Amino acid sequence: MVKLSKRLQMIADRVPVGSKVADIGSDHALLPTYLAQKGQIVYAVAGEVNPGPYEAAKRQVMETGLSKIIQVRSGDGLAVIEAGEVNVITIAGMGGSLMASILEAGKSKLAGVQHLILQPNVGEEQVRRWLLENGWKLTSEVILEEDGKIYEILTAEAASEAEKLELEVLYQTWQIPGGVCVNKDRLLLMGPYLLKEAADIWFVKWESELKKLAMIQSQLKLSNTEASVAKAEQVSQEIRDIKEVLACLQKVKP
C-alpha cells in the first residue's frame, strides 16, 4: 500500500467509505491509489492538468493494478468529470484563490457532490467565502504542521435548502470570553472552528502571519505616497486586530 504524507493522510481520513471521488490536481494519484488499496472508495477520477504529473499518475495506477477503479484524466479543474459522476471532491496543495476559481468555473459539475475536502496552501479565507456564498456548509476545520509548513483542511457538505438559510450562523459575531468581538470577516479569515478551538499550532500560524504583516508594514513606511500611507495604516490596523484576538484567546486557554 502506498504511504501518504501526514497532510494527505488527514484528507484521506475524511473521505467517507464507499465514495466515488474526484481528486483534482492529483499529482502522482497517491491519494486515490491509497483510498482504492484500502477499499475505502469504489471509484475515483484523478485529474491533472500538467503533463508530467499526469503521466506519473497513469504509471502509478497501472503499476498498482487499479485501472478498473481509478481513471486518470488530463484536464483543467472540474473539466475532468461529468455532473453526477462523483459524490466527493478533494482538492489539495494549491492557493485558495485558484481553488475558489476552480470550484466557481466547475459549478455545473457539482450536482450530486455531497462532500468537498479542501486543503489550500494559502488564502483559506477565499475558500471559506466561496463555500458560504455558494450553499456549502463548512462542517470541520483541522490545522497541522508538516515539514515546517502549516496547513488547514476544510471539509464542507452540500447544504439543503433549509440549511442554506442558516449558513451565516457559523459566521455570526462572536464575543471571546474577555471582551473581544470577532466579526464575520475575522471568522472567514481565521476560521470559525479553528478560532474557537485555538490549538497551539494555530497560534504559531498567526504569529507567523503577524511577522509577515510587520515586514509589509516596514516596506510601506519607506514611501510617503498617499496610497502607501493609507495601506500602511490598514496593515497596522490588521496587526492590532489579530494581536487583540490572540491575546484574548491566550487568556482563556485552559
Choosing from 142, 169, 196, the residue where a domain stops is 169
Same domain, 20 and 91: yes
Residues 179 and 158 grouped into a single domain: no
Residue ending a domain, choose from 137, 169, 201: 169
**What is residue 188's three-state secondary structure?**
helix
Phi, psi of 2 (to 5 degrees): -65, 150
Q: Are residues 163 and 222 in the same domain?
A: no
Q: Are residues 96 and 44 part of one domain?
A: yes
Sheet holding 136-146, edge to edge: 70-74, 41-48, 19-24, 88-94, 115-120, 149-158, 136-146
Closest alpha carbon to 129 in 92, 103, 107: 103
Q: Is residue 185 in some structural domain? A: yes
Residue 1 lies in a domain: no
Q: Where are the beta strands (DSSP E) in the chain?
A: 19-24, 41-48, 70-74, 88-94, 115-120, 136-146, 149-158, 174-175, 181-182
Q: What are 133-165's pLDDT values in tens digits?
A: 999 999 999 999 999 999 999 999 999 999 998
Residues 79 and 148 in one domain: yes
192-232 pLDDT, tens digit each: 999 999 999 999 999 999 999 999 999 998 998 999 999 99
Helix (H), strand (E) at residue 119: strand 115-120
Q: What pLDDT is stored for residue 254 in this prediction? A: 60
- Condensed to tens digits (0 to 9), the pLDDT of residues 55-94 reads 999 999 999 999 999 999 999 999 999 999 999 999 999 9
In a domain, 109, yes or no: yes
What average pLDDT score do residues 225-244 get?
94
Are residues 179 and 233 part of one domain? Answer: yes
Query: Which of the 8 DSSP states describes residue 40?
Result: -
Q: Is residue 34 part of a domain?
A: yes
Domain presence at residue 156: yes
> CB of 71 within 8 A of CB of 45?
yes
Q: Across all residues in the chain, what is the average pLDDT?
A: 95
Tally the domains of the chain: 2
The percent of residues above 90 in pLDDT, for the chain, comes to 93
Q: How many residues in the chain?
A: 254
| Residues 64 and 165 placed together within one structural domain of the fold | yes
pLDDT at 253: 67
- Is 151 within the bounds of a domain? yes
Statement to judge: residues 114 and 75 lie in one domain:
yes
Per the structure, the complete domain to which residue 76 belongs is given by: 6-169
Beta bridge partner(s), residue 91: 24, 118
Which residue has 467517507 as its cell numbers?
16
Report d(CA 72, CA 48) in Å as an integer: 8
At 13 the pLDDT is 98
